């Protein structure tokens, strides 16, 4: 199979590199020429446009910021569906509203094109390692065709249900991650205010019930004051907004999600939207007037 890949951001570029390492021929497109040049140097071929990339591909992967971006890339003028051949498959690995996924799937089906929504979790480090967690939605036969491709980018690939289920699962994931980071922030701010070394507190609790992948990944970043983005605050805010909209449509109250989303909006208004989502902690630090760091530093 020849793969088209549209969207070469923090996640997309290492995902393309892993496809190339896996032996696939990859045609790429992005609105940023420098991003295209970067992966072309690794062996990808520049597609020139979404339409031209799709026309050369059996499977077209999109990895874009939000639903409107995917809608435009697939359904817009000069988009994927204008170039895709019947029998090809669109795999959207963006994190978007499940309602948008279902809309795009219906448009693809009308042209004889398969569709899978397959958002990911793991951030830039796991995108680089090829160990992303991939949550897919779609029918079993279409999923089976693209599993070998997805396995070059992720260590866990699960079909969670029909189209849209992948993004519902991702929204659930994002709720748990955001609330976990916020709770970690409160805990470490409290410990720091009490005069404890937050690194010692982290090491003391990480092996117990409070331990988690989120804690292990994000606490060291906070203590080191390293907020270089693996997953940006502005993108996590978008995910929580989509979760709240989905919850509203299904009459599900999400009070903790709403609270953390408001924290993220506040941080974006402070100019912190481009920081790693571990910087949620800085919202709690500001309220307490203290930073999470070892005593004397």
Active site (catalytic) residues = 170
The helix/strand count (H/E) of the chain reads as 14, 9
Residue 158 CB contacts under 8 Å (≥ 6 apart), including other chains: 134, 135, 136
Spatial distance between the Cα atoms of 178 and 181, rounded to a whole number of angstroms? 5
**DSSP letter assigned to residue 85:** P
Say if residues 25 and 150 touch (Cβ distance below 8 Å): no
Q: Give, in order, the Cα–Cα distances in Å from 78 to each of 115, 204, 267.
A: 19, 55, 36
State CA 235 to chain mean position distance.
Answer: 8
Residue 248 CB contacts under 8 Å (≥ 6 apart), including other chains: none
Spatial distance between the Cα atoms of 119 and 113, rounded to a whole number of angstroms? 19
| Percent composition of the chain: helix, strand, coil (DSSP 3-state, to 5) | 55, 15, 30
Q: Which residues pair with 154 in a beta bridge?
A: 132
Torsion angles phi and psi, residue 153, rounded to 5: -110, -20
Torsion angles phi and psi, residue 262, rounded to 5: -65, -35
Question: H-helix or E-strand containing 36?
Answer: helix 33-40
Say if residues 149 and 1 touch (Cβ distance below 8 Å): yes
**Taking the CA atoms of the chain, what radius of gyration do you get in angstroms?**
20
């Amino acid at each position: 199979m020849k793969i088209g890949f549209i969207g070469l951001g923090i996640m997309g570029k290492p995902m393309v590199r892993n496809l190339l390492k896996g032996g696939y021929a990859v045609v790429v497109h992005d609105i940023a020429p420098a991003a295209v040049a970067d992966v072309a140097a690794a062996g990808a071929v520049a597609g020139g446009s979404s339409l031209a990339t799709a026309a050369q591909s059996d499977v077209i992967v999109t990895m874009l910021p939000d639903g409107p971006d995917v809608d435009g890339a697939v359904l817009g003028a000069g988009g994927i569906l204008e170039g895709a051949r019947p029998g090809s498959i669109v795999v959207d690995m963006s994190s978007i509203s499940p309602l948008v996924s279902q809309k795009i799937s219906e448009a693809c089906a009308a042209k004889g094109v398969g569709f899978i929504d397959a958002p990911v979790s793991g951030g830039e480090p796991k995108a680089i390692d090829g160990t992303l967690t991939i949550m897919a939605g779609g029918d079993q036969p279409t999923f089976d065709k693209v599993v070998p491709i997805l396995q070059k980018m992720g260590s866990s690939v699960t079909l969670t249900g029909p189209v849209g289920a992948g993004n519902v699962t991702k929204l659930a994931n994002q709720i748990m991650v955001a609330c976990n980071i916020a709770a970690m922030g409160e805990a470490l701010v409290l410990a720091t205010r009490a005069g404890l070394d937050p690194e010692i507190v982290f090491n003391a609790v990480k092996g117990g019930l409070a331990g988690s992948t989120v804690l292990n990944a994000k606490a060291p970043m906070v203590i080191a004051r390293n907020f270089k983005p693996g997953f940006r605050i502005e993108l996590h805010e978008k995910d929580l907004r989509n979760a709240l909209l989905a919850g509203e449509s299904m009459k599900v109250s999400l009070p903790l999600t709403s609270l953390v989303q408001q924290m993220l909006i506040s941080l974006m208004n402070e100019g912190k939207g481009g920081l790693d989502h571990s910087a949620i902690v800085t919202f709690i630090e500001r309220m307490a007037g203290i930073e999470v760091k070892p005593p004397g530093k």
